[in-house]
Amino acid sequence: MTQAGHRDPRAEAVSALSRVLSGRTRSTDEVHRARGALEPRDAALFQALLLGVLRRRRALEAVLQPLVHRPLDTTPAPLRETLMVLAFQGLFLDRVPSHARLSSAVEVARRLGGEAGARFVNAVGRALEKRLTESDPLQGLAPEARASIPDWIAARVRQADRGPWTDDLWEAFGQPAPSTLRLYPSSEPQAVVLERLRALGITAEPTRFARRGLRVLEGTPLGDPDLVPRRMIPQDEASQLVVESLAPRDEERILDLCAGHGLKTIQVLQEAPGARVVAVDLHEPKLAEARKLATRMGLPRFRTLAMDARDLPGRLPPASFDRVILDAPCTGLGTLVRRPEVRWTRRDRDVTAAAVLQREILATAARMVRPGGRVVYAVCSFTEEEGPGHRQHALACGLEPEPIVADFPFRHPDGTLRPLPWRDGMDGFFIGVFRRVDRDPDPCDSVPGNLLGQ
């Protein structure tokens, strides 16, 4: 506390960085918490600092390391993150005066690391401020380093990109992710909604590809309960396209595997309120949130099962669903602009582990859908192993690819959707549609173990 009842957004950002980088929480959760705990202006600064340091971390390390007489990663976390916040302000925020950012950093260090910590941050901070007046410390830094992309992710970015590639594309990784919402189905024209938002000081425009999406350009509707969640809900444009690809219909039995907090279950029920939906997730608290939101929105009831999706064929009759949506557990690399900590909390080996689990749950989807029924497989990742690499496994499980008909620049020649965050302004996703053609009651029984990931 700097004053009675006042919380310093810089100190709050330092603490949040430690929590996020240790994997104890997500940056999006921290931003949401700050909106309820800080004054609006302080919450905005907190968000800029937290997400900015995560997005520019590699560049900040390159600038700070020569000024610290020991490996930066051995510096106590509170002091290291205090320096990161200070450096970010000096390098990427031009509205914070030099003396203000340095004195604030020293005060934060004093509270977190005592007088010794304050002296350390003061010495490094003064050296940094001196360097900032002499030259641009970022000059000569490789584009992927300035964008703060780890080498192993940079290699996968180049593998996934359909080209042509230019170095300025890296800068997209350092920019804030667009704020996107999904409007609920309504008889009210979208133009009327946009005009109402404009009257509230919120400027938005329709998304280019999702039918009900809105991209916020200025202001935020998140603090107005009459808007969120009553009329719209935050949802990335690529995520909206998953349910649009499912094309749910009334009276159909629809299975949402790995439903999480129910965002797509809600979307299914809004598009097809007469559908009979079953939502499955390993975590009951997430399903409870989904049920609560659906009730609040006046949507029809749906069944939930808190269990491992791989065990579902022993709980419900196989081939009993018309459509199955599988937004599978993944590395989340496609969210590395919106949730930039993914760059630092994931490792290359996580891709292989995720792919094994995805194959097993995809086998469940094939077993649960009826012959002639549709399966939509999606992951918020752009890696080969987590998306197109599952094609052979799907075929072996009796699922035949069904091209998505859409005039999108990120539609792949094989009929799948593969938006990329640095090109398409949305999360990176793989979305593929399959039709069950095998009439065997258990189509994956004959799949070799290596395809099932066993």
Distance of CA 262 to the CA centre of its chain: 15
Strand-pair category, 179-183 with 232-234: antiparallel
CA 3 to chain centre: 35
Task: Please give the pLDDT value at position 445.
Answer: 64
Using alpha carbons, select from 1, 10, 219, 197 the residue that is nearest to residue 101: 10
Bridge partners of 399, per DSSP, are 436
Distance of alpha carbon 445 from alpha carbon 363, whole angstroms: 9
Give me the pLDDT at residue 97, please: 86
pLDDT along the chain (454 residues), means of 10: 64 97 95 92 95 97 95 95 97 86 96 95 97 92 94 95 89 93 91 94 97 95 89 96 98 97 97 97 97 93 97 95 98 97 97 97 97 98 98 96 97 97 97 93 62 45
pLDDT tens readout for residues 21-79: 999 999 999 999 998 899 999 999 999 999 999 999 999 999 999 999 899 999 999 99
Backbone angles phi, psi at 286, to 5 degrees: -65, -45
| Amino acid at site 413 | P
- What's residue 94's pLDDT? 79
Determine the pLDDT at residue 447.
54
pLDDT for the residue numbered 3: 41
Helix, strand, or coil here: 67?
A: helix
Note if the pTM is more than 0.85: yes
* Beta strand residue intervals within 267-404, DSSP E: 276-281, 303-306, 321-327, 369-379, 399-401
444 among known catalytic residues? no
Q: How far apart are CA 50 and CA 150, in angstroms?
A: 18
pLDDT at res. 449: 46
Catalytic one of 258, 380, 397, 444: 380
Given a contact cutoff of 8 angstroms between Cβ atoms, the answer to whether 75 and 61 are in contact is no
Cα–Cα distances (Å) from 72 to 55, 69, 78, 124, 204, in that order, read 18, 8, 12, 12, 42
What domains sit in the chain, N to C, each tagged with a CATH number?
Answer: 9-141 (1.10.940.10), 179-234 (3.30.70), 237-452 (3.40.50.150)
Nearest Cα neighbor of 325 from 397, 380, 254, 403 is 254
In whole angstroms, what is the distance from residue 189 CA to residue 187 CA? 6
Q: Is 73 exposed, middle or buried (0-12, 13-18, 19+ CB in 10 A)?
A: exposed
Write down the pLDDT at residue 100: 87
User: What pLDDT sits at residue 452?
Assistant: 43
Of 438, 449, 283, 431, the closest CA to residue 359 belongs to: 449
Supply the pLDDT for residue 222.
85
Hunting for tokens 């099962």 — which residue is that? 305
